[in-house]
Structure 1
């Protein structure tokens, strides 16, 4: 009986030691699949996206468990030669050059950006103010055309078409100076500025060149839109 008891105790101690050894080795050995996932996420965020102004969420698809990942003494390298910022799915090549090993990892990217949207249903000709436009979080991949990042940037502009609440406002929808508007023409020559009044003959947003008729001389000139009521020319 004593002999059997001693064998039982010895067996239990052996099992405990084996479990401890397995547990210890599991902690000591890095999970290379998880390591590649984490490093792929860092690569996408810090190298491909690299936009401090945007809130970017990256989800890396789990590497197939059947893929054997080697220990790479020189660190894994990452590249995405076909990267297109307009797409939400990215394929990243992960390689260990000195072992001539590589695999591909897929990542999904959603970038949230604050842009100006309409707060109400607005009709053509509506004057944009802080009362009818606001900032909203929008997926960057869904944006079409140029969007605006501040309400102040387009306050005073007018809409050229009807929009519904939540519509992202872009430059093609607006005119800062609209056809028929009375504007100040600033003629800049060296350090001097001469101002006369004119009538816009075309719609234009900031930076656009439009045709304007000088009220005093009745001459048609080409000027650059500087604000909602001013255009400039260089002479």
Structure 2
């Protein structure tokens, strides 16, 4: 009988402890979660502010990472909307600081964000040696932070398929027009003399390297004369007359 009473008391004690633990588990983290939510909400507002005001080309893909706001900072219940200001809103700035203020109080804080303007660029998918023909197998399109780019780049494979590499390129290197020739010196090409809707074609040999849209010297094989013509493709140059 005594053993039964002691067991009942022990069970009751365990039940009380478990209930207290359950209450603390449910209610304490809830208030903590609410506090975390206010920090996260403010960070999202900072991100929205930057997306709306940063000086970028609307066609570009922008990625903004707002640094976590210290959980120990007390964010007030601001009766008016928070006000956001920043002095470095240029796209070239990868690190941006934003001041957050509550207009009806003296409260404010500075938060920081990393801004990346993402651009699609063509890179080598393999090690390429001089003379290599660019195909869909040895180049690919990747996304890179625009602030890390230097010089001219290409955004799609179709722009440079059929061009050739002029110097050694390693896997992952960004392809620029300085690395390429759409028509290379010594190539046999078609010279198209275009006038209105008419086109007369003769054969020639390129005397220098050229990329699309560039004017190069070409020797007319019929007359053996040098002419200047614009690179139109990997096999044709054009003269507009």
Tell me if TM exceeds 0.5.
Answer: yes
Once the two structures are overlaid, the 10-residue window that deviates more, 98-107 or 128-137, is 98-107
Contact 2:53 2:89 (8 Å CA) reproduced = no
Alignment map for 1:28-67 (pairs within 5 Å): 31=38, 34-48=40-54, 49=56, 54=61, 56-63=62-69
Identify the residue that residue 179 of structure 2 maps to in structure 1: 173
Report the alpha carbon displacement of residue 107 of structure 1 after superposing the two structures with TM: 0.8
Alignment map for 1:85-124 (pairs within 5 Å): 85-94=91-100, 104-124=110-130
Calculate the TM-score normalised by the size of structure 2.
0.69
Report the alpha carbon displacement of residue 125 of structure 1 after superposing the two structures with TM: 1.1
How far apart, in 1, do the equivalents of 2:102 and 2:191 lie? 63
How far apart, in 2, do the equivalents of 1:68 and 1:91 lie? 18
Calculate the TM-score normalised by the size of structure 1.
0.70
Contact 2:124 2:175 (8 Å CA) reproduced = yes
Does the residue aligned with 2:175 lie in a helix, a strand or coil? coil
Contact 2:100 2:108 (8 Å CA) reproduced = yes
Provide Cα deviations, 1:106-126, integer angstroms capped at 9, x if missing partner: 211245544322122111111
Does the residue aligned with 1:44 lie in a helix, a strand or coil? helix
Report the alpha carbon displacement of residue 89 of structure 1 after superposing the two structures with TM: 1.3
Residues paired across the two proteins, number: 210
Identify the residue that residue 221 of structure 2 maps to in structure 1: 215
Distance 1:108 1:102, change over 3 A: same
How far apart, in 2, do the equivalents of 1:203 and 1:97 lie? 63
How far apart, in 2, do the equivalents of 1:80 and 1:217 lie? 66
1:126 has 2:123 as partner: no
Identify the residue that residue 197 of structure 2 maps to in structure 1: 191
Report the alpha carbon displacement of residue 101 of structure 1 after superposing the two structures with TM: 8.6
1:71 has 2:78 as partner: yes
Identify the residue that residue 11 of structure 2 maps to in structure 1: none
How far apart, in 2, do the equivalents of 1:209 and 1:86 lie? 33
How far apart, in 2, do the equivalents of 1:35 and 1:92 lie? 15
Identify the residue that residue 14 of structure 2 maps to in structure 1: none
Cα RMSD between the aligned structures?
Answer: 3.5
Which runs of 5 or more residues in structure 2 are unaligned? 1-22
How far apart, in 1, do the equivalents of 2:191 and 2:114 lie? 50
Report the alpha carbon displacement of residue 152 of structure 1 after superposing the two structures with TM: 2.5
Identify the residue that residue 144 of structure 1 maps to in structure 2: 150
Which runs of 5 or more residues in structure 1 are unaligned? 1-15
How far apart, in 2, do the equivalents of 1:209 and 1:97 lie? 61
